[in-house]
Amino acid sequence: MQKLSDGMTHRSASYISSRPRMEQQKGPVPAVQDDRFNEAFVFEKLMSIVKTYRREAHRGKFIEYHEPEDLKMLLNLDQKEGELNWDQLFEWVGQYLKHSVVTHHPRFVNRMWSGANLPSVVGEIITAISNTSAGTFESAPVSTLMEMYMIQRMLDLVGFSNGEGQMTTGSSNANMIAMMAARNRANTNISQSGLFAQQELFSFVSEDSHYSLDKAANILGMGANHLLKIPLNEQGQMDILVLETRLQEITNSGGTALFVCATAGTTVRGAYDPIDLILELRDKYGFWLHVDGAWGGAAIFSPKLRSMFLKGIEKVDSFTWDFHKMAGTALMCNVLLFNHGELLKKTSHIGDTRYIFGGAAEHDEFNLGSFSLQCGRRVDSLKWFLDWKFYGQSGFARRVETYYQLCETAENMINQSKKLEMVVPRESFNVCFRFVVPAGISSNEFNQKLRIQLHRKQIGLIGSGYIGPEYCLRLIIANPCIDEKELESFFYELINEGNLLLGKI
């Protein structure tokens, strides 16, 4: 069959112009439609759009910026429901892609993730087409075995010889599950009797820990007042001397030092709490030591970076990190590992699940939904498995080491510039800097305006944060499209924009 210039056949082109019979009929659209008639057209059209989008993702601007109200008018969201044909639906797809942030673009340096690896994109497409829940072996046999395989590979990588693991919806939930395991281990009756008339339970985190730990203390019934935040040292790490003082105070007052979360790569500074030193305190006070490596846990792939940042990781009680961040797997992809056999299953498995999983009892140990936090489980294992098989540990190690080197290069560029300065020295992967302003001008206000201008003028979307009272621009490199040349170009345009803004003051 002869091909047209856009890659579609004469039949598919004619099909588009004539439109499917079902869509031409008068009256309301049936509540249940047979989409098989449209499948050839839909998939041809979709693949054409996807190929164009991926091909052009690194070119041009990272966004066509509009203010919210203007964008709302452009999108025309109030069109009538239930009366659109496929051509009109694909117009919505085009609108979505046209006005969304292109996270593949090298100027997207805002978040700890970027455009997804191609193997994981393939996995996402297949997952959507097959559309099942990874709750039982009988409903998801392949994904179940892939997930169990990958968990075992990660346990071996970290060094948890008698461990177990689970994919979760992200490190926020993983942190909560780890805290819940510590709570239930401290008192095996809590899962049934609750916290009534119990000894007070206290958890300890750094002042720069993720807010999900505040949520976890609330959800688990222990209360935010029992989540004690430890001050930071000059490197942005949890101050170990203060931590020990607080542990001693709680113990002496009759409370239980339940849980300590060490952060491996804080959100703003990228600081790593000293795991090896906290392990010494754990041996003394008996708390559960969890490591939140949502961002910086990817250092585990590289023996070099592991020795620098994750010393002692094989001895902690639990560890989580996100594959969708530095590793680049499609959102979301997280793993939570326990250094204890069967404890994870006991933590989440409560209530009689036979009414929903009873028919699958013959494969009970493979029914992952029965001891997950949620019942329906998204199939995230396929994209994870495909990425791992395609890149392997060595490929991910090279990627993470390259990011680390690029962050070092960025810091050097900033230190050599008369217009930019580091707010604090770089600790790992996060580069916290600002544009230098003359005396009498608020640095915080100016750099906030500069960040907004960089976004609105489509120069770059960069992260930000506060280190103490100081506002900083936070450069995050989690995009394999970024290289030294791109960094030079970005800083050049940033400085030009800063000079223009300064001239208007």
Is the domain of 383 the same as that of 499? Answer: no
With CA atoms as reference, report the closest residue to 464 among 125, 134, 186, 111.
111
Tell me the pLDDT tens digit for each residue of 341-354.
877 777 766 666 66
Is the domain of 151 the same as that of 69? Answer: no
Q: Are 367 and 137 in contact (CB under 8 A)?
A: yes
Residue 62 sits at φ, ψ, to 5 deg, of: -80, -15
Query: Would you say residue 16 lies in a domain?
Result: no
Lowest mean pLDDT among 168-182, 208-222, 364-378, 453-467: 364-378
Give me the domain span that covers residue 49.
35-99
Question: Where is the domain boundary, 358, 388, 418?
Answer: 388
- Determine the pLDDT at residue 196: 79
Is the domain of 226 the same as that of 190? Answer: yes
Question: Where is the domain boundary, 343, 363, 388?
Answer: 388
Is the domain of 379 the same as that of 406? Answer: no
What 3-state class would DSSP assign to 164?
strand
Is the domain of 342 the same as that of 413? Answer: no
3-state helix, strand, coil in the chain (%, to 5): 50, 15, 35
Residue 24 has pLDDT above 50, yes or no: no
Query: Would you say residue 438 lies in a domain?
Result: yes
Is the domain of 297 the same as that of 352? Answer: yes
CATH number of the domain at 466, please: 3.90.1150.10
CA distances from 298 to 178, 186, 397, 455 (A): 19, 30, 8, 28
Tell me the pLDDT tens digit for each residue of 99-113.
999 998 999 998 998
Is the domain of 219 the same as that of 297? Answer: yes
- Determine the pLDDT at residue 136: 85
Q: What is the DSSP letter of 234?
A: T
- Determine the pLDDT at residue 358: 64
Q: DSSP states of 99-158 as a string?
A: HS--TTSTTEESSS--SPPHHHHHHHHHHHHH---TTSTTT-HHHHHHHHHHHHHHHHHH
Query: Would you say residue 13 lies in a domain?
Result: no
Query: Would you say residue 23 lies in a domain?
Result: no
Is the domain of 203 the same as that of 285? Answer: yes
Residue 1 has pLDDT above 60, yes or no: no
Residue 465 has pLDDT above 50, yes or no: yes
Helix axes 10-18, 39-56, angle to 10 degrees: 110
CATH number of the domain at 301, please: 3.40.640.10
Q: Which two tokens mark 179?
A: 């805290």
Residue 298 has pLDDT above 90, yes or no: yes
Is the domain of 406 the same as that of 296? Answer: no
Question: Where is the domain boundary, 328, 360, 388?
Answer: 388
Query: Would you say residue 3 lies in a domain?
Result: no
Query: Model confidence at 357, in pLDDT bands (50, 70, 90)?
Result: low
What size, in residues, is the chain?
Answer: 505
Is the domain of 335 the same as that of 202? Answer: yes
Q: State the pairing for strand pair 470-476/430-435.
A: antiparallel
User: E strand or H helix at 378, and its extent?
Assistant: none
- Determine the pLDDT at residue 504: 86
Q: Which residue has the tokens 């924009």?
A: 497
CA distance 123 to 143: 11
What 3-state class would DSSP assign to 486?
helix
Tell me the pLDDT tens digit for each residue of 143-155.
999 999 999 999 9
As a whole number, the mean pLDDT across the chain is 88
What 3-state class would DSSP assign to 91?
helix
Is the domain of 357 the same as that of 458? Answer: no
User: E strand or H helix at 184, and its extent?
Assistant: helix 171-186
Query: Would you say residue 14 lies in a domain?
Result: no
pTM value? Answer: 0.89
User: E strand or H helix at 249, and its extent?
Assistant: helix 240-252
With CA atoms as reference, report the closest residue to 175 among 300, 329, 317, 284.
317
Q: DSSP states of 382-424 as a string?
A: HHHHHHHHHHHHHHHHHHHHHHHHHHHHHHHHHHH-SSEEESS
Query: Would you say residue 27 lies in a domain?
Result: no
Is the domain of 138 the same as that of 78? Answer: no
The domain total for the chain is 3
Query: Would you say residue 105 lies in a domain?
Result: no
